[in-house]
A and B are shown apart, each in its own frame.
Chain A
Amino acid sequence: MSPTPPEWWVALQAEWCRALARPLAFDRGTFESPDAAQVVALLEPDSQQGEPAARFMLYHHQVWQRICSTIQASFPCATRVMGPLLLNRITLLVFTASPPDARSLDGAADRFGATLRAALAAQQAELAGFTLQVRQLLESQKTPLPVLQQALQLDLAHRIAFGTTTPRMDEPPRQSDASVNDARVLVNPSLSVLRLTHDVRLAETPLLPQAIHVAIVRSTDGVRTDMLDPVMARLLALSRSQTLGEVRENIARAVDSVLLAQLQTTLDAAIDLAFARHYWLGLR
């Protein structure tokens, strides 16, 4: 018969878990409430050791330092827009509302990203509880929300690209073969195409002279970030749900007659490039 854990050990781990999940007061570095000594008394310290609260706080610090530093490293663009201290406060909000439930810190970062994205996307009337807290905190620090949204999109796109496996490429099709127009494009699942209006790489996040499009993708060489011209951006936007022939027709319809003559060459080059850069993996 398998042994079972002593009941006291289950109860003691539960107390530790509760204490580790408590947030700290930012100004004092101690528990907000109740007093640290009261909390630590429940953790059954050895009465002979000096300052058990200070000793326990070292574990508390380790747990939260690991989580906060992982979130900062995982969301570098969002960290630049918010600043590390505000990001830490949002991190505490996310993980004290519900403790990390992923085996890995990377999994915790996934949940943070999804939670922050949802909080930023929520309409004013939908804000309540946790999302309201996050938005109030961001607004109290005068965080430019549209810029933060773009920064978060960039970070999430990099995480998606890194987190997928190396793509398997088919032989690029010959465009002279008429049958390719009936085939659907197999888009690289790691591909994200973003439209950016601010330079989120800079702390001041200045408005760009005009919006740019970037592609972030996992290729056989690793994760790549490419600037896109308007034709390529349109091509990639359309290619997720259409055949190559439909993509061509839709792009042709979207440009004026002056450009139409030169479009065929440009579009053929863009299609070749989409395969060469691994935005597309093949045709089906």
Chain B
Amino acid sequence: MTTPTPREIPRHGLGLSLRPEHYQALRESTGAVDFLECIADNYLEPSDIPRKNLDQIAAKYPIVPHSVSLNLAGTDALDTRFLERIAWLARRVRAPFVTDHLCWARFGDAHLYDLLPVPYANDLIPWIGHRIQAARSAVGLPFGIENVSTYFRFGRDEMPEWEFISRIAETADCGLLIDINNIYVSAVNHGFDAIDYLKAIPWKRVLYVHIAGHQKRPDGLLHDTHDRAVSQDVWRLYAAAWRLGGPFPTVLEWDADLPDFATVVAELELARMVRE
């Protein structure tokens, strides 16, 4: 079997997370964005309707498969069948790389459908690093892990999050997907300086970054909701990240209360202005 040549994502590229509500606009547009990120899991169900939509859009735009259920920090065996299917999808869209999250989502037979937090403990690094290496090997493409928003911290933490994710990336020799909104949300929720996080990132490993909107709850906690425009604070942090580690491709995630395509593209275009 020949491996198709992956499509390139420009380092200054601006992309969107792909949502069915925008399929039609994307089919009718040309060059509205530089690339798209799709939730890989949604295109691996038995129905071929989502895959046909993806094929049409992949004919016009580069696609990055982004998974939510590899359970990289889990304790059970990696799902090799699912990894094979992700690799198949990545080849189908000629993806340059694949990403998932530094989190756990399943225990035993119970699937929890969430990005659950991990203690930043020394003895987890070899375990998680080994699993990421195995995932990368199975997918056969560069592989990136994303920092998640967290609301709960563990008494077992032995280091800050930025040290933990950097050491895991080094152990696994993998890429990073840095979510700027998640850094901001976690910084406010746990009282650390988001700039310290940005300064510690090994930027040469960064495949692309995420930006998104969040909500502030009545109790003051920030909640990563992807249901609104990017906040001014997150744009400022994005500008700081660009100065420290740019250029890097950027994806705007907008999943709930989704406005029309033109509004989302206009929000994404702000990134160009913010980083100039």
Asked if A10 contacts B75 (CB within 8 A), the reply is: yes
Contact of B151 among A2, A55, A101 (CB under 8 A): A55
Smallest beta-carbon distance A66→chain B, Å: 5
Asked if B79 contacts A45 (CB within 8 A), the reply is: no
Task: Give Cα A43–Cα B118 distance, bound, in whole angstroms.
Answer: 11
Asked if A45 contacts B49 (CB within 8 A), the reply is: no
Asked if B130 contacts A2 (CB within 8 A), the reply is: yes
Asked if A13 contacts B104 (CB within 8 A), the reply is: yes
Per-residue contact bits, chain A 78-115, to B (CB 8 Å; 1 contact, 0 not): 00000000000000000000011111111010000000
Per-residue contact bits, chain B 81-92, to A (CB 8 Å; 1 contact, 0 not): 010000000000
A47 located at the interface, meaning its Cβ lies under 8 Å from any Cβ of chain B in the complex: yes
Contacts of B154 on A, CB cut-off 8 Å? 12, 43-46
Contact of B79 among A9, A44, A100, A103 (CB under 8 A): A103
Asked if A8 contacts B221 (CB within 8 A), the reply is: no
- A17 and B108 contact, Cβ closer than 8 Å, known pairs A6-B124, A44-B155, A162-B49: yes
What is the number of residues of chain B that contact chain A, defined by CB distance less than 8 Å?
43
Contacts of B74 on A, CB cut-off 8 Å? 13
Task: Give Cα A46–Cα B121 distance, bound, in whole angstroms.
Answer: 13
B47 located at the interface, meaning its Cβ lies under 8 Å from any Cβ of chain A in the complex: yes
Asked if A163 contacts B46 (CB within 8 A), the reply is: yes
Per-residue contact bits, chain B 230-243, to A (CB 8 Å; 1 contact, 0 not): 00000000000000
Asked if A164 contacts B47 (CB within 8 A), the reply is: yes
Asked if B111 contacts A101 (CB within 8 A), the reply is: yes
Task: Give Cα A225–Cα B151 distance, bound, in whole angstroms.
Answer: 45
Which residues of A, 146-162, contact B by the 8 Å Cβ criterion?
Answer: 162
Contact of A55 among B79, B126, B221 (CB under 8 A): B221
Contacts of A102 on B, CB cut-off 8 Å? 111
Asked if B151 contacts A59 (CB within 8 A), the reply is: yes
Contact of B75 among A13, A48, A59, A105 (CB under 8 A): A13
| A161 to chain B: closest residue by CB | B47
B156 located at the interface, meaning its Cβ lies under 8 Å from any Cβ of chain A in the complex: yes
Contacts of A10 on B, CB cut-off 8 Å? 75
- A3 and B111 contact, Cβ closer than 8 Å, known pairs A49-B152, A49-B153: no
Task: Give Cα A241–Cα B123 distance, bound, in whole angstroms.
Answer: 61
Task: Give Cα A65–Cα B164 distance, bound, in whole angstroms.
Answer: 30
- A46 and B153 contact, Cβ closer than 8 Å, known pairs A17-B107, A105-B113: yes
A264 located at the interface, meaning its Cβ lies under 8 Å from any Cβ of chain B in the complex: no
Smallest beta-carbon distance B65→chain A, Å: 15
Smallest beta-carbon distance A84→chain B, Å: 17
User: Lowest 8 A-B CB distances belong to which pairs?
Assistant: A99-B110, A46-B153, A5-B75, A17-B107, A101-B109, A55-B152, A55-B151, A13-B107
Which B residues are closer than 8 A to A by beta carbons?
A: 41, 45-49, 52, 69, 74-75, 79, 82, 104, 107-114, 116-117, 119, 121, 123-124, 126-127, 130, 151-157, 189-190, 217, 219, 221, 223
